[in-house]
A = this chain, B = another copy of it.
Amino acid sequence: MVMFFMLMLFSFSNVIAQNKDQVVRIAKLQIDPAQLENYKAALKEHAEVAVRVEPGVITLYAVAEKNNPAHITVFEIYANAEAYQAHLQTAHFKKYKSTTNDMVKSLELIDVEPIALESKTKQ
């Protein structure tokens, strides 16, 4: 019984430790309107693959502004800095970058500090 509670406590601290290591970021992009559909297809494919195959890619929420569809925001959560560095070396990320290189007019990366990351289970 004591072992059980110690194990519970250990797992719990582990979860907290992992969350503190998380890298959270917002990417803001302006896309060439003439290439927007191709860009969105490439981004969608990249997000699906990255979250599915990389244990350290926790969340990639990519959205387009309704009033300015070429303005894209991506909300990104990585398990830790190492997971993010590993992500940059994957074949799917490199493919995404080379495919979209001439579609992206500007890219701003904003490092953020979580206040609350509340969500029901997987969308």
Interface residues of A (CB under 8 A from B): 19, 24, 26, 40, 43-44, 47-48, 50-52, 58-67, 69, 72-73, 75, 77, 110-123
Contact = CB atoms under 8 A, between A and B. Distances in A.
B111 A61 contact: no
A119 B43 contact: no
A67 B25 CA distance: 12
Contacts of A59: 118-120, 123
A106 B10 CA distance: 42
Q: Is the interface of A mostly helix, strand, loop or mixed?
A: strand
Contact of A121 (B69, B111, B121): B121
Given A19-B123, A26-B73, A123-B19, A116 B66 contact: no
Contact of A119 (B64, B110, B123): B123
A63 B123 contact: no
A122 B24 CA distance: 15
Contact of A65 (B19, B112, B117): B112
A113 B69 contact: yes
Contacts of A123: 19, 58-59, 77, 117-119
A45 to B, nearest CB: 8
A21 to B, nearest CB: 13
